[in-house]
Amino acid sequence: MATKRFFGELESDPDQQLEKRTRTRPTLASIISEVRIQNSLQHLCTALEPMLRRVVTEEVENGLRHCTRSLTRAPSVRIQALEPSNLQLKFVKELGLPIFTGSKIIDIDGSPLSIIIVKDGQNLPVTLLGPIKVELVVLDGDFPPEDRENWTAEEFDGSIARERLGKRPLLAGDVSITMRNSCATIGDIELTDNSSWVRSRKFRIGARVVPGSHQGGARIIEAITEAFVVRDHRGELYKKHYPPSLNDDVWRLEKIGKDGAFHKKLVSEGIKTVQDFLKMSVVDTPKLREILGAGMSEKTWEATIKHAKTCGMGNKHYVYSHNNWTIILNPICQVERAMVDGRTYTAKELSSINTTYIENLVRQAYSNWGSLQEFEGLVNELALLPQGEVEDPNPLCNEAAADKSMTFQHGGNQSSRTTFEIGYFPVPNSSSSNNNSVQQVGISDWQMTYFMNTPEHAIG
């Protein structure tokens, strides 16, 4: 009975009853929220784990590599690394840019890279006894710090860029070379990865002497190239040309992307090549700007036209005649000569005559470009002077054959081409024009003589 009474007393305890009332059961929403938080944390840990493993692995490898170099480097070499040296490896020329993955690295002249050993910063190689082995490596683009011109061997080694996890070695090819007489030509080398993943977004190529291969004792400072960006090989298909050629697609120009807005606008107006672009810029610049639209800023336009104007003109010329005027144009519709009423004007002299009429002639020539007479060759300054000013009866006798011959083409027809010889010949009178083997075309005082076998080949 006493036990029952005690149990009853517990049940009647007011504090205990209050605690039961305040203890609430978790709701379904709170349970779902907790589960979602736990799942998010689990997913975050799962996503971070590979990256953390990779970072830790790379740091451990770099630390072990640095310790290994310090242990394997001879004490005498460590002491020499701190001593100043007047010998240094040096790349002979700058790199040819841009650089793409999988493409051969060459110098600015398109030749294989060359390396020499110089003394006191001179450009002439010094002669050292015996062959020296050199190793090529990839460096971070921000080395050396603060653009210093000297560094220690340890600083150089610590700036070597390593390949990403699961990737091939960054530099492939002939990465080990032997220098003889302090000179060597580097074979085929290429980069296997782009530079977008490093802090500076750039690489450098470095060259260092393999430890133990130089018996001279003094340290030879390493060589480095300028910093450069490495793009993926697929970007090479869309790269710009420096300089562009007349027949290049117009998107090879700076600021005009392939299949981009500017490219589509130009193509829709028949401007497909660099030559088309330059011709329109000469004949009607406002119309070209209108085609490109307001999306091309003044700064962008200047960059594009500046790049286009580096294009080589070649040796083709075009002739357009109207009434008593004849003009000779270069491939981008610029006037090089004009013949008016028996007088020849150079481009510089045209400002003294009716420039408005010449501009109209140029526009007409542009509109009828496909039917213009075309010739290949050099328009010699002397060849277009009035005959009265010429003292030498045969001024072109000492010129190269390429300067004297040119090919005439009519109406854009590739099959109707005639080879000309340019020179000074007396204008025949009516009695001497019976020889069918020699025909002459006279444009005032400018004479073009072309040799034919039959009269039917003459230009109408």
Question: Is position 58 within any domain?
Answer: no
Is the pLDDT assigned to residue 187 strictly greater than 80?
yes
The predicted structure's pLDDT at residue 18? 53
Mean pLDDT check: name the lowest of 201-205, 260-264, 344-348, 369-373. Answer: 344-348
Nearest to 102, CA basis, from 242, 236, 229: 236
Sorted by sequence, the CB contacts under 8 Å of residue 91 that are 6+ apart come out as 107, 113, 114, 115, 205, 207, 223, 224, 225
Question: Is position 20 within any domain?
Answer: no
Question: Is position 53 within any domain?
Answer: no
CATH code of the domain in which 117 resides = 2.60.40.2550
Is the pLDDT assigned to residue 132 strictly greater than 90?
yes
AA identity, residue 25: R
Neighbours of 141 (CB within 10 A): 20
**Residue 121 carries which DSSP code?**
T
* 80 and 225 fall within a common domain: yes
pLDDT band of residue 229 (cuts 50, 70, 90) is very high
In this prediction, what percent of the chain has a pLDDT beyond 90?
Answer: 43
Choose the most confident range, by mean pLDDT, from 96-100, 172-176, 337-341, 412-416.
172-176
Choose the most confident range, by mean pLDDT, from 231-235, 309-313, 352-356.
309-313
Each residue's pLDDT tens digit, 381-411: 434 433 333 333 333 333 333 344 444 444 4
The token pair at 181 is: 């007489």
pLDDT band of residue 451 (cuts 50, 70, 90) is very low
Domain that holds residue 152: 75-234
Decide which of 208 and 338 is more confident. Answer: 208
49 Cα distance to chain centroid: 40
* 248 and 223 fall within a common domain: no
Nearest 5°: the CA angle 127, 95, 122 is 30
CB 255 within 8 A of CB 124: no
Question: Is position 32 within any domain?
Answer: no
Is the pLDDT assigned to residue 189 strictly greater than 90?
yes
Whether the ω angle into residue 98 lies within 30 degrees of 0, i.e. cis, is yes
Determine the straight-line distance between the first and last CA of the chain, rounded to whole angstroms.
Answer: 142
pLDDT band of residue 133 (cuts 50, 70, 90) is very high
Question: Is position 100 within any domain?
Answer: yes
Is the pLDDT assigned to residue 82 strictly greater than 60?
no
CB 217 within 8 A of CB 223: no
Element (H, E) at 88: strand 87-91
Over the range 32-44, which residues count as b (16 or more CB within 10 Å of their CB) and which as e?
eeeeeeeeeeeee
Question: Is position 366 within any domain?
Answer: yes
AA identity, residue 204: R
Cα separation of 362 and 347, whole Å? 13
Final residue before a domain boundary, out of 234, 250, 277: 234
Each residue's pLDDT tens digit, 274-305: 999 999 999 999 999 999 999 999 999 999 99
Decide which of 244 and 51 is more confident. Answer: 244
Final residue before a domain boundary, out of 292, 308, 324: 308
* 280 and 420 fall within a common domain: no
Mean residue pLDDT across the chain: 77
* 202 and 274 fall within a common domain: no
The predicted structure's pLDDT at residue 222? 96
Final residue before a domain boundary, out of 205, 234, 263: 234
Decide which of 85 and 446 is more confident. Answer: 85
Cα separation of 269 and 444, whole Å? 38
Is the pLDDT assigned to residue 65 strictly greater than 60?
yes
**Number of C-alpha atoms within 13 angstroms, CB side, residue 445?**
17
Is the pLDDT assigned to residue 424 strictly greater than 60?
no
Strands (E), 195-309: 203-209, 220-221, 223-224, 230-231
The predicted structure's pLDDT at residue 346? 86
* 225 and 81 fall within a common domain: yes
The token pair at 91 is: 């790349």
Decide which of 92 and 7 is more confident. Answer: 92
Q: What is the mean pLDDT of residues 312-339?
A: 91
Enumerate long-range contacts of 193-198, CB under 8 Å, 24 or more apart: 193/101, 193/163, 193/164, 193/167, 193/168, 193/230, 194/101, 194/230, 194/231, 194/232, 195/141, 195/228, 195/229, 195/230, 197/164, 198/140, 198/141, 198/161
CA distances from 208 to 35, 139, 159, 200, 227 (A): 57, 11, 13, 22, 17
Residue 154 burial by CB count (10 A; 0-12/13-18/19+): exposed, middle or buried? middle
Is the pLDDT assigned to residue 445 strictly greater than 50?
no
Q: What is the mean pLDDT of residues 312-320?
A: 91
User: How many structural domains compose the chain?
Assistant: 3
The token pair at 365 is: 């020539």
* 87 and 227 fall within a common domain: yes
Q: Where are the alpha helices (DSSP H) in 115-207?
A: 153-158
* 267 and 375 fall within a common domain: no
Over the range 443-457, which residues count as b (16 or more CB within 10 Å of their CB) and which as e?
bebbbbebeeeeeee
Question: Is position 49 within any domain?
Answer: no
Each residue's pLDDT tens digit, 16-48: 555 555 556 677 777 888 878 887 777 778 877
Q: What is the mean pLDDT of residues 43-72?
A: 72
* 379 and 413 fall within a common domain: yes
* 225 and 259 fall within a common domain: no
The predicted structure's pLDDT at residue 429? 40
Is the pLDDT assigned to residue 419 strictly greater than 50?
no
Strands (E), 160-229: 171-173, 176-179, 183-185, 189-191, 203-209, 220-221, 223-224
The token pair at 125 is: 């190689």
Is the pLDDT assigned to residue 146 strictly greater than 70?
yes
Cα separation of 458 and 460, whole Å? 6
The predicted structure's pLDDT at residue 122? 81
pLDDT band of residue 15 (cuts 50, 70, 90) is low
Question: Is position 36 within any domain?
Answer: no
Decide which of 394 and 157 is more confident. Answer: 157
Query: Model pTM?
Result: 0.43
The predicted structure's pLDDT at residue 81? 44
In this prediction, what percent of the chain has a pLDDT beyond 70?
Answer: 71
Main-chain phi, psi angles of 18, to 5 degrees: -65, -40
* 297 and 321 fall within a common domain: no
